[in-house]
Amino acid sequence: MAEGKQPVLNQVSDFELKLLKVFRTVAACGGFSAAEVSLGISRAAISMQMADLESRLGFKLCQRGRAGFALTDEGRRVLEASDRLVGAIDHFKAEINDLHQHLRGTLAIGITDNLVSHPGMKITHGLAALKARGPEVKINIHMQPSNDIEIGVLDGRLNVGVVPRVRELPGLDYLPLYEESSSLYCAVGHPLFSADDEACQSLTDYEVVVPSFALPAEAQALYRRHPLGAKANDREGIMFLLLTGCYLGYLPDHYARPWVERGRLKALQPEKTGFTTRFCAITARSRRANLVLDTFLETLLPPSSAG
């Protein structure tokens, strides 16, 4: 912005919020074309609304052309500011909910990948109970690595997260949910898949897929016994690499079970190589009153603790 030029944006009305929603969707989708389906409008309409927003703000938010789509420095700052704005609006809605004692608003929940097949099903049952008590509640699920979920809960972008209890941060409260057992697996094509028990005694000679997310200390010790073969940032990535037949890898038993039943995966000495991960729901210790969140947390409590 040129020196001495007055700010272009003098108010934030519903119309500006609508334009910011378009911008946030475009940024999340990585371009105009990819945002068409999410927004339900044409690329030309998206382009017009983005141009209108840029005119109101006084600078370009993104570069688009043959080189592809990219946010400008100003665009990244506007995106961060809009995240804070949306969080503030959600806080305001939550406080009004408390005044009316009526469940309206949004629950933003972050979940680590591939928990849906866990037999405990606490998250699914909790979300179903929340929806039954507040039919107007909107639920937004974000599948993210555990460290991103922790950050999202701490800065207010997420109301609650479901993560492995690997470490405890001072700004978070932890509600135990369930335990998850994991074992070492190999897939069809790996030398150990059809090997006898004697051959499987030398497991530590084989490369393993190492995850980039946080692990319990017990699991870290097990990984250090193997040569590093590949890395993956989530458990589905580990599965992709295991199915090449080139690596060993640890997977949750509930996630691996369908593949074992189809004869595609094999657990290797689970009584010796397995470990347990405790999962919990996390919330910000300094969080404001939020009836929707409090109601959801109640659904996660054991029957003797609820109410």
> What is the rounded distance in angstroms from the CA atom of residue 181 to the CA atom of residue 183?
7
Task: Assess whether pLDDT exceeds 70 at residue 99.
Answer: no
> What is the rounded distance in angstroms from the CA atom of residue 278 to the CA atom of residue 219?
12
pLDDT at position 293: 92
Do the beta carbons of residue 163 and residue 279 sit within 8 Å? yes
Q: How large a percentage of the chain has pLDDT more than 70?
A: 91
Give the residue-averaged pLDDT of 102-130. 85
Give the residue-averaged pLDDT of 38-46. 87
pLDDT at position 167: 84
**Residue 20, phi then psi, degrees to nearest 5:** -65, -35
Delineate the domains of the chain, giving CATH numbers in brackets: 14-82 (1.10.10.10), 84-164+293-300 (3.40.190), 179-278 (3.40.190.290)
Task: Assess whether pLDDT exceeds 60 at residue 50.
Answer: yes
Q: How confident is the model at residue 187 (pLDDT cuts 50, 70, 90)?
A: very high
Residue written as tokens 């492995």?
A: 164
Give, as one character, the DSSP assignment of residue 190.
Answer: S
Evaluated on CA atoms 95, 99, 101, 104, the torsion sign reads negative
> What is the rounded distance in angstroms from the CA atom of residue 127 to the CA atom of residue 304?
19
Q: How confident is the model at residue 234 (pLDDT cuts 50, 70, 90)?
A: confident
Phi-psi region of 287 (alpha: psi -120 to 50; beta: other; left: phi over 0): beta
pLDDT at position 174: 95
| Burial classification of residue 122, based on how many CB atoms lie within 10 Å of its CB (0-12 exposed, 13-18 middle, 19 or more buried) | middle
Average pLDDT score over the chain: 86
Q: How large a percentage of the chain has pLDDT more than 90?
A: 36
Taking the complete model, does pTM exceed 0.85, yes or no? no
> What is the rounded distance in angstroms from the CA atom of residue 273 to the CA atom of residue 236?
20
pLDDT at position 184: 94
